[in-house]
C-alpha cells in the first residue's frame, strides 16, 4: 500500500474520543452512556457529540429507554462500525509493518 | 501520521479494551457466595447426620441452593445495572454456569431421588462438574489459576473414590476453599485494584 494512501485514515474514527468509544464498543455487546463516560473519562457534552457523529456515520446504534423514571442511553457497535474499525486497525498495522 | 502516532493509537486501543476487562473481575461475588453456601450445606449435612435426622438432609441442601440461586439472580441484576455494559464473555460464562447449575441439580437431587445411584456418589459427580465449570471459566477468562483449580477439583473427585462414602463430603470443604473461595478472593482483589486505578 502506498504510504500516502495509508495516511488517509477514516476521519470519523481518527479522533481520540471516537476511537475510544469504538474500542470499548467492539469489546462489549452494549454499554450505557455512563459506562462510556466513566471508562473513557470525558464530559457528558463531549461524549454526546461524538456518539451522535458515530451514529450519523452508521457505526453505532443508540437506544434510548427509561429505567424507572431515569433515561437510559445504550450504545452498541453496528456491523458497518465493526468493519470500519477493523479496516482502521488494519491500516495502522499495515503502516507500521511498512515502516519496518 | 507518523510511526509513533500509529503506535500510540494502537496502545490507546489496547488500553480501552483492557478497561472493559474490569467487568469480568466483578464475578468474584458469585464464586464467594456459592463457595460459602456449599460449605455451609456440607456442615449442615453432617450435623443432621450426627443427630440422625437423615430425612432433613435434602431440605438442608434445598435451602442452601435456593439461597445461592436467589443471591445470584439479585446480585447479577444489580451488577448488570451498576456496570452499565454487557460483554460477550458474560454471556458465555452465564450459559456455562446455567448448564453446570442444571447438571448439579440433576446429579445432586434428581438422579439420586430416582434411585439411579447411592447418595455416596453425589460428592464425586458434583466435584467432577465443578472441575469442568472452573476449568472452562479459566479458559474463557484466560486465567491459569482457575484452570489449576479445575484440575484440583478433578483430583479431588478421584481422591473421593478412595474414601469411604460417609466421609467424602468432608473432602468437599477443602476443595471448596481452594477451588472456589480462593479464586474468589483473588478476583476480588483484582477487581478492587482495577476499580481504584480507574476511578478519578
* pLDDT of amino acid B24: 60
Confirm whether pTM is higher than 0.90. no
Band of residue A99 on the pLDDT scale cut at 50, 70, 90: low
Are A22 and A47 spatial neighbours (Cβ–Cβ below 8 Å)?
A: no
Nearest CB among A9, A19, A34 relative to B13 is that of A19
Percent of chain A with pLDDT over 90: 69
Q: Please indicate if any CB of chain A lies within 8 Å of the CB of B3.
A: yes
Taking residues B98-125, what's their average pLDDT? 92
Chain B residue with CA closest to A33: the answer is B84
Torsion of CA B114, B120, B121, B122, to 10 degrees: 70
Return mean pLDDT, chain B. 87
Is the predicted pLDDT of residue B8 greater than 50, yes or no?
yes
pLDDT band at B133 (very low <50, low <70, confident <90, very high): very high
Q: How many CB pairs under 8 A join A and B?
A: 70
Q: Could you tell me the pLDDT band of residue B141, with boundaries at 50, 70 and 90?
A: confident
Which residues is B85 bridged to in the sheet? A31
B93 in reach of chain A (CB within 8 A):
no
pLDDT tens digits, B9-44: 999 999 998 888 766 656 788 888 999 999 999 999
How does residue B60 score in pLDDT terms, banded at 50, 70 and 90? Answer: very high
Cα separation, B67 vs B53, in Å, equals: 21
| Mutate: best of B85, B95, B142, partner A, most A CBs <10 A | B85
Buried b (16+ CB within 10 A) or exposed e, B88-125: ebbeebeeebeebbebbeebbeeebeeeeeebbbbbbb
Distance CA A94, CA B4 (A): 14
Amino acid at each position: 500500500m502506498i504510504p500516502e494512501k495509508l495516511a488517509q485514515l477514516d476521519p470519523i474514527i481518527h479522533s481520540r474520543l471516537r476511537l475510544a468509544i469504538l474500542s470499548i464498543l467492539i469489546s462489549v455487546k452494549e454499554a450505557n452512556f455512563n459506562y462510556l463516560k466513566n471508562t473513557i473519562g470525558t464530559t457528558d457534552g463531549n461524549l454526546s457529540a461524538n456518539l451522535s457523529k458515530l451514529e450519523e456515520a452508521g457505526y453505532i446504534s443508540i437506544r434510548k429507554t427509561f429505567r424507572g423514571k431515569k433515561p437510559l442511553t445504550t450504545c452498541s457497535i453496528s456491523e458497518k462500525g465493526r468493519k470500519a474499525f477493523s479496516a482502521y486497525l488494519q491500516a495502522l498495522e499495515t503502516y507500521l509493518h511498512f515502516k519496518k | 501520521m507518523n510511526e509513533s502516532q500509529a503506535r500510540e493509537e494502537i496502545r490507546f486501543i489496547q488500553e480501552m479494551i483492557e478497561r472493559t476487562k474490569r467487568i469480568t473481575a466483578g464475578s468474584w461475588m458469585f464464586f464467594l457466595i456459592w463457595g460459602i453456601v456449599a460449605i455451609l450445606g456440607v456442615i449442615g449435612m453432617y450435623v443432621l447426620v450426627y443427630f440422625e435426622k437423615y430425612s432433613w438432609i435434602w431440605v438442608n441442601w434445598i435451602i442452601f441452593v435456593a439461597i445461592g440461586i436467589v443471591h445470584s439472580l439479585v446480585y447479577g441484576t444489580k451488577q448488570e445495572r451498576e456496570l452499565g455494559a454487557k460483554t460477550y464473555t458474560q454471556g458465555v460464562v452465564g450459559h456455562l454456569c446455567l448448564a453446570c447449575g442444571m447438571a448439579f441439580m440433576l446429579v445432586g437431587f434428581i438422579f439420586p431421588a430416582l434411585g439411579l445411584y447411592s447418595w455416596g456418589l453425589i460428592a464425586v459427580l458434583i466435584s467432577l462438574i465443578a472441575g469442568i465449570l472452573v476449568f472452562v471459566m479459566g479458559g474463557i477468562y484466560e486465567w491459569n489459576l482457575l484452570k489449576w483449580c479445575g484440575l484440583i477439583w478433578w483430583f479431588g473427585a478421584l481422591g473421593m473414590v478412595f474414601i469411604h462414602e460417609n466421609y467424602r463430603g468432608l473432602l468437599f470443604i477443602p476443595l471448596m476453599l481452594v477451588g472456589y473461595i480462593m479464586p474468589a478472593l483473588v478476583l476480588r482483589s483484582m477487581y478492587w485494584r482495577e476499580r481504584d486505578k480507574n476511578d478519578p
